[in-house]
Amino acid sequence: MLFRQLFDQETSTFTYLLIDATTRDAVIIDPVYGKMQRDLDALKEMNAELKYIIETHVHADHITGAYDLKKATHAKFAAGIATGLTCGDALLDEGEVIHFGNEVLHAIPTPGHTDGCTSYLWRDRLFTGDTLLINACGRTDFQQGSAETLYNSIQKLLSYPDEYLIYPAHDYNNLRVSSIGQEKQVNPYIVETSKEEFIDKMDNLQLPKPKKIDASLPANLRCGDRMTA
Ligand SMILES: [Fe+2]
């Protein structure tokens, strides 16, 4: 297996490249608009061919790079079924998988931050989007957010083995990877937190509106088509 974690400094977004080492078929998770050359260079360097562009959810903080990347590579677009996107090639429900070469990526619906939030399992790695972040979790105060639903989704993720690695959609504290066991031990949204306490905490975060939400949401609901040209 070949694997690369990429980072967009401006929006603190992680993009992941997963590649079958034998066939060189690849998928990319959560590409960022403006970073296509970086992604294409990484694919070229690893002699890989992009088969799928996969989103963990309809992002509010950045425009997805999916649209440009799809045009450049002819890869298919996939996201969770509950995103309701009509522009995708594959909308994934519980238990559905994406095959790339001999590798398999499993879709795990984890709503709460948004309705369509979907985590993905590849081997021993969970790509958790904004459902479970390192020492944190996604906010629930816009985009169909529900603290109760998010709590249940986090519990669902915590049912995976402790040694499974967590690769989130963002990190703002220079952290890169965690594990189920580590989050159970140190995540302040998990440790000794009942469902009621979690909901209360989430409902009182009083976070500012994401800077790019007004441009990001409409474009991301079109799978990244900015319609500005
Ligand atoms: Fe998000």
- Residue 163 domain-assigned (yes or no): yes
Answer for the pair 221, 85: CB distance below 8 angstroms, yes or no: yes
What CATH number is associated with residue 150? 3.60.15.10
Backbone region of residue 12 per phi and psi (left: phi > 0; alpha: psi in -120 to 50; beta: other values): left
Predicted local confidence at residue 182, as pLDDT: 98
- Residue 214 domain-assigned (yes or no): no
Predicted local confidence at residue 90, as pLDDT: 97
C-alpha of residue 113 to centroid of ligand 1, in Å? 7
- Residue 223 domain-assigned (yes or no): no
Range of the domain at 134: 2-207
Q: Round to whole Å and give the CA distance between 83 and 105.
A: 18
Q: Round to whole Å and give the CA distance between 28 and 53.
A: 5
Q: Round to whole Å and give the CA distance between 114 and 101.
A: 30
C-alpha of residue 183 to centroid of ligand 1, in Å? 19
Beta bridge partners of 121: 106, 126
Predicted local confidence at residue 192, as pLDDT: 95
Total number of domains in the chain? 1
Backbone region of residue 8 per phi and psi (left: phi > 0; alpha: psi in -120 to 50; beta: other values): beta
- Residue 217 domain-assigned (yes or no): no
Number of alpha carbons in the 13 Å side-chain half-sphere of residue 35: 26
Answer for the pair 47, 199: CB distance below 8 angstroms, yes or no: no
Q: Round to whole Å and give the CA distance between 84 and 87.
A: 9
C-alpha of residue 23 to centroid of ligand 1, in Å? 32
C-alpha of residue 158 to centroid of ligand 1, in Å? 20
Q: Which residues of the chain carry a pLDDT beneath 50?
A: 229
- Residue 168 domain-assigned (yes or no): yes
C-alpha of residue 121 to centroid of ligand 1, in Å? 18
- Residue 165 domain-assigned (yes or no): yes
Predicted local confidence at residue 118, as pLDDT: 98
C-alpha of residue 139 to centroid of ligand 1, in Å? 8
- Residue 77 domain-assigned (yes or no): yes
Predicted local confidence at residue 227, as pLDDT: 87
Tens-digit pLDDT profile for residues 104-139: 999 999 999 999 999 999 999 999 999 999 999 999
C-alpha of residue 219 to centroid of ligand 1, in Å? 14
- Residue 229 domain-assigned (yes or no): no
C-alpha of residue 131 to centroid of ligand 1, in Å? 8
C-alpha of residue 147 to centroid of ligand 1, in Å? 14
CA-based nearest residue to 99, from 125, 68, 76, 74: 76
